[in-house]
Amino acid sequence: MFAPSLTETQLSLFRFLFLFKMFFLLQDWAYPMRRDMQEILPGLFLGPYSAAMKSKLPILETHGITHIVCVRQDIEANFIKPNFPHTFRYLVLDIADNPVENIIRYFPMTKEFIDSCLAAEGKVLVHGNAGISRSAALVIAYLMETFGIKYRDAFTHVQERRFCINPNVGFVHQLQVKPGSEPTPSSKNRVKQSCLFFY
């Protein structure tokens, strides 16, 4: 919400600058880039599963990736899986890309995994199938919790680096309403059951 002291001219200028910035983001973004990972923060990458496939090992090593958060649902487990369990440390989360999925319960575990990676001077890739909804929501939540910023600011930061992100409406609502919610003990148990790998 804008401060009441802003004039209509200032608001118009702000809108113009925002649209101008988005125009140039679109100019820099090419459709094939959605198949690659992008660096969101130093050491934190977001991308699709195709960025973590067996053929991408040299690229992952070139970028210094040490940890991978693999987000999938159980029906995707046969094709979205850890390809390098002896090379990288994995956190595999079973999350459906469904507006009624309670993604908030996975934030503390994901944040802890990313923080431990970055504290050890590692680099982490967070990916789902397309790198657009589930994994993007987790990265947005990480920025919100780490830097104490609102959803819109975190979303904009991530989208400036990976333009194709589009968390589903349920995830967006959870991020806007309960950005710092702590899971209940029963949801912590469900998260542990849904976390297939953490090694």
Q: Which residues of 120-138 are buried (b: 16+ CB within 10 A; e: fewer)?
A: eebbbbbbbbbbbbbbbbb
Name which CATH class applies to 34-198. alpha beta
pLDDT of res. 5:
53
Residues 172 and 140: their CA atoms lie apart, in Å, by: 10
pLDDT (0 to 100) of residue 164: 84
> What does the pLDDT average to over 22-27?
49
**163 band by pLDDT with thresholds 50, 70 and 90:** confident
| Helix, strand, or coil (residue 197) | strand
Do 54 and 83 form a contact (C-beta atoms < 8 A)?
A: yes
* Residue ranges covered by each domain of the chain: 34-198
pLDDT at 180 over 50: no
Residue 196's pLDDT band, with cuts at 50, 70 and 90, is very low
